[in-house]
Structure 1
């Protein structure tokens, strides 16, 4: 199935379900919303009537007042109102009044006068000083036959002397509910359709752009000349540029040129020293001088071998896309074994070494690469620590990472070199010999850190230099 169709199907499913859920939820909220609004109006009406009826009820002349006649006339009115497209031709309120005992004194329908309404919730709760309201079905089997009743107390000072209740059949609200649901249904359906249309256009555009990029990649892989397609859209443009950069790197242009140029520069110095020493050895010279030139040849040969070996190791790490193994590696014994391997050098220089790494800390990764990386860091610390100086190795947990810190006493790193020490072939002269190294050690450590989703950082601290290698916690 093409990617564009799959994207559209997922989009269709998401938009369809989300739209249906929102629309159905809003539809379900229309009915209670209209009823709540109606109840609020009934509350105002009931309280207004309570104030109007107070004096007549208090004086016992409610039946002799004009209210029964007025309520009868009210029930016969025909408003002929057009309310947002819904015609209203009759009034629907029912009003009844009870005394303090809940006995009906006045009923606009004329059928409940004298009856005891004290058990109905609207009257019962209002007489107790609470908010009185109820909804009662005229037909128990018909939900639409329910009638909403809202009552208000008729007060004489702080005393409740009666209750006035205003009722409205819920079926009179149904036309407004149905009209709102119909309009909302059309509007929601239209919005969902428009969303799906936009999703279809977006899927077509995205799949078309990806097809152009795919044809370009296929042409390049076939060795054909192809022009990078011009794509609109930030991510697609970045993807096309990334594919172009990958093509350039795979063709080996920038990679080979950089390596050949730098490697040639690095090899010139030791080769010239070896050749010069060899030419001089061809003539007569004192034995002491001969031995010095032989030593130079051996030293420069070892430097060439080290350069080549480290370059091979670095190339292998750079070409990797992942780790061959991910195991828990205890830091303390690993560092201790590296220190034991360098013990002769440490004692010869009179260095003080502190291994403060807790035995409980372990990192997760490839054991061989981690050993090589820590070995390079220790070599650097030994190279730059003056005789009798201090090297301190420590580690601490920081969230999901463990920070391994290697401190060596010595001169601070110059500002101009601090940001470049992890570059290939960049190195500073060693204090003891004045010679530079291959400049590949820290670059190798950084590549190992990246393979393990960690990082490498160098900084000047009080009394020396500290290297921090962050690795995932086991």
Structure 2
């Protein structure tokens, strides 16, 4: 199970439990809250009817009395009231009057007249001057059969003469309670759905950030040079920055160690030659021709060391750069023409012919100095490996997004075992004319320049003979953040 799925499930369980617990606590309060609201209205109504009963107390409450007649007409009154989801069509109140002994003087149920209600809480508490109320079930086994009774004292002047009680079936409140339950569950479902969507968004956002960080670490682990991702979350951004700092520190140590090792290896041969020549010159009488040869050897090996150090410094400067700092619009055909003209004296010494073929639009955004160095190294390599009297052809082609520069020569094919290693640092092959190997840094330098321009470089043997090196570069500006995949 992925991290985002676990986060989403965890969030949904927590949000779901919190929503259900909250709704249960609210819904458990709904019935009592509705009854409390109803009781408050019934208190006002009972006291109002008590004042009306006081006005008819002396007349009594016989079947033809004004009070009884009014209540009877009320009970028979048809109603047509749409109260939210409930359609009220009839009256439901129960009304009765008792004297100071609790004897029923009037009741909406005539069969109860004369009954002793002195033990009912509503009557007994009111006669004692307290708030009288009770809830009683008609059927003890049926909770929906309960009625709520609210009593109010009846006075004659300042003297208590009786009690008026107003009763209402609790079943009449159930539609409102049910409506409230449905409303809260509906809103709870919306809240839960919103929490789920929010959790999904948070999980996606966090998983996307973590995935970008993991992808970055994986690319670093495989040796790719990439910039750390730009993350909105501060903690993940700190982790990315710390990972990048650690990578640079580790790379720096490994880089120095590798360079010291390879530089030491490459310097052994010229240093041994210089030391041997110097020892021979110190032996005493050395013939002039030998002295000249030894001095030339020392000078040549010194120049070789100088070239090695210079190339290493240039390569190190390119390798430590993550991206181009700034770019400009460059005509690749113009650079190639200039470099070909600069290499013409060297090519003429071997009787080589130089040719350039380019399209109409060869412009791209890049670093002019680095591209000049790359083309110069490719031409040097082509000239060194060409046979006398051969041809070096440079062809520049373009498509919608890239430029392709191909350098071809008529030299011997590169051995199969070396095709995968020609771009390695310090790897070099013998020249066909017997000259010494080079520093082995030229093609490695070209590869790094191609990387900075988000391009690629490759070397292949041509079927018709000779070798071709292809440098492919993107046309667009490469100074933006991030590192697109090489073309």
The aligned residue for residue 191 of structure 1 is 193
The answer as to whether partners of 2:412 and 2:432 remain within 8 angstroms in 1 is: no
Aligned residues: 273
**1: distance between equivalents of 2:401 and 2:263?**
38
CA distance in 1, matches of 2:207, 2:293: 73
How far 1:323 sits from its partner (Å)? 2.1
TM-aligned CA deviation for residue 207 of structure 1: 9.8
Q: Residue 315 of structure 2 aligns with which residue?
A: 314
What TM-score do you get using the length of structure 2 for normalisation? Answer: 0.50
Matched, 1:333 2:361: no
Change (3 A) 1:280 1:453: same
> What residue in structure 2 maps to residue 288 of structure 1?
289
Cα shift at 1:188: 5.2
User: CA 1:192–1:445 in 2, change beyond 3 Å: closer, same or farther?
Assistant: same
Which whole-Å CA distance do the structure 2 matches of 1:199 and 1:366 have between them?
Answer: 42
Determine the C-alpha separation between the residues in 1 that align with 2:396 and 2:452: 20
Distance 1:385 1:268 in 2: 29
Cα deviations by residue, 1:211-263 (Å, 9 ceiling, x for unpaired)? xxxxxxxxxxxxxxxxxxxxxxxx99x9699548505426x331111111111
Match of 1:134 in 2: none
- Partner of 1:124 in structure 2? none
Matches within 5 A, 1:12-411: 187=189, 189-197=191-199, 243=244, 246=247, 248-249=249-250, 252-282=252-282, 283-358=284-359, 360-411=361-412
Is the Cα contact below 8 Å between 2:344 and 2:354 reproduced in 1?
Answer: no
Does the CA-based 8 Å contact 2:359-2:398 persist in structure 1? Answer: no
1:473 to 460, 472, 475: 475
Matches of 1:206 and 1:469, distance apart in 2:
35
Alignment deviations for residues 261-315 of structure 1 (CA, whole Å, 9 cap, x no partner): 1110000001111111112223323322222222211211111111100111111
Q: State the secondary structure of the residue aligned to 1:395.
A: strand
Matches of 2:322 and 2:310 in 1, distance apart?
21
The structure-2 alpha-carbon separation of the partners of 1:204 and 1:449, relative to structure 1 and needing over 3 Å to count, comes to: closer
Does the 8 Å CA contact 1:317/1:447 hold for their aligned counterparts?
A: yes
List per-residue Cα deviations over 1:105-157 (Å, max 9, x = no partner): xxxxxxxxxxxxxxxxxxxxxxxxxxxxxxxxxxxxxxxxxxxxxxxxxxxxx
For 1:361 and 1:207, how far apart are their aligned partners in 2? Answer: 39
SS in 2 for 1:342: helix
Q: Counterparts of 2:187 and 2:407 in 1: how far apart (Å)?
A: 69
Q: Is the 8 A contact 1:333 1:359 kept in 2?
A: no
User: Quick one: structure 1 residues 206 and 456, their matched pair in 2 at CA, closer, same or farther if it must change by over 3 Å?
Assistant: closer
Structure 1: distance between partners of 2:469 and 2:208: 46
Distance 1:275 1:466, change over 3 A: same
Q: What secondary structure is seen at the aligned counterpart in 1 of 2:358?
A: coil
Provide the secondary structure at the position in 2 that maps to 1:356: strand
Structure 1 unaligned spans of 5+: 1-7, 12-179, 211-234
- Given that 1:330 and 1:359 are in contact with CA atoms closer than 8 Å, whether structure 2 keeps it comes out as no
Cα distance change of structure 1 residues 245 and 275 upon mapping to structure 2, 3 Å threshold: same
CA distance in 2, matches of 1:428, 1:434: 10
Q: Per the alignment, in what secondary structure is the counterpart of residue 437 of structure 1?
A: coil
RMSD: 3.7
